[in-house]
Amino acid sequence: MPVWSDDQKRRFGPWAVVTGASDGIGRAIATELAHAGVNVVIVARRRAALEQLAGSLAAETGAAVRVMASDLSQPGAAAALESATTDLDVGLLVAAAGFGTSGPMLGLPVERELEMIDVNCRALTELAALYGRRLSARGRGGIVLMSSLLAFQGVAGAATYSATKAFVQTFAEGLRGELKPFGVEVLSAAPGPVRTGFAERADLRMSLADTPGAVARDILAALGRRGTVRPGPVSKLFAAALATAPRWLRVLILSRVMAGMTGHQGAAAPKAA
């Protein structure tokens, strides 16, 4: 578990808000933060999972843990979350809530694709704006936004998902330049395959993937030091392999990788409107 220095706790504590905290990377980051002595607000849709995590973290670490059950795909949810934390000295926002779909876009329910855009892009932007203002006024703090290995090129079989992550990556890069003069660090985290509930929800089968704990530790280690991090050994391996490839080749390679993870789904015929 990371042991943050007094300076890191001053900059990014005493409270952190972590969305998507019931599972996967969000849960791992909340756990790492609590073990580092940072109090956490854990946010997700499933209250029961959050309550279980809150109980275990409080018992293990002594950190204060506040539970917020929220569906960030719903209008007003981000503003309600920020309003519910105005009594806390929040120094860090980790926007880890998000989900993906897989398969040919024309064979997927368009409502699901739009919900993904709402969570991955709209809610993330609103949270960054609301907490960004608070952190800027505070004069210090950090924002972690979840990009992806797929953010750097389009990927067949994950067309909408890769586009949402391209938005997050570009947004984080621009926001970092705007907020840094106010003492606020913005970090884009671009993991590759990770063994979480995300893969099950997206109907993906992965033979090679990082663990949420390894990804979380790399993200927190990079906060305040870098603008983009490729967390986890598998992500770093993919990044190194693709580093010199032109964009069209990255599109081809990762589309074939995605085809390998979705081959069990079978061919999906486009659905008529």
Burial profile 150-162: b = 16 or more Cβ within 10 angstroms, e = fewer: bbbbebbbbbbbb
Does some domain include residue 167? Answer: yes
**Overall average pLDDT of the 114-127 stretch:** 97
Query: Residues with catalytic annotation?
Result: 161
pLDDT at 202 over 70: no
What pLDDT is attached to residue 1? 47
| Per-residue CA distances from 204 to 100, 103, 155, 246 (Å) | 10, 9, 14, 26
Does some domain include residue 151? Answer: yes
> Which CATH number covers residue 90?
3.40.50.720
Q: Which domain holds residue 106?
A: 7-265
Does some domain include residue 2? Answer: no
DSSP-assigned states of every residue in 190-255: ----B-SHHHHHHT---SS-B-HHHHHHHHHHHTTT-SEE--SHHHHHHHHHHTTS-HHHHHHHHH
CA gap 179, 191 in Å, rounded: 23
Q: What is the mean pLDDT of the chain?
A: 90
CA gap 17, 2 in Å, rounded: 18
Pairing verdict, β 141-146 and 90-95: parallel
What pLDDT is attached to residue 121? 97
Q: Give pTM, 2 decimals.
A: 0.90
What pLDDT is attached to residue 230? 95
Does some domain include residue 1? Answer: no
CA gap 19, 14 in Å, rounded: 17
What is the tens place of the pLDDT at every residue in 213-253? 999 999 999 999 999 999 988 888 888 888 889 999 989 98
Does some domain include residue 196? Answer: yes
Does some domain include residue 113? Answer: yes
Q: What's the domain count of the chain?
A: 1
What is the tens place of the pLDDT at every residue in 134-186? 999 999 999 999 999 999 999 999 999 999 999 999 999 999 999 999 999 99
Does some domain include residue 53? Answer: yes
Does some domain include residue 273? Answer: no
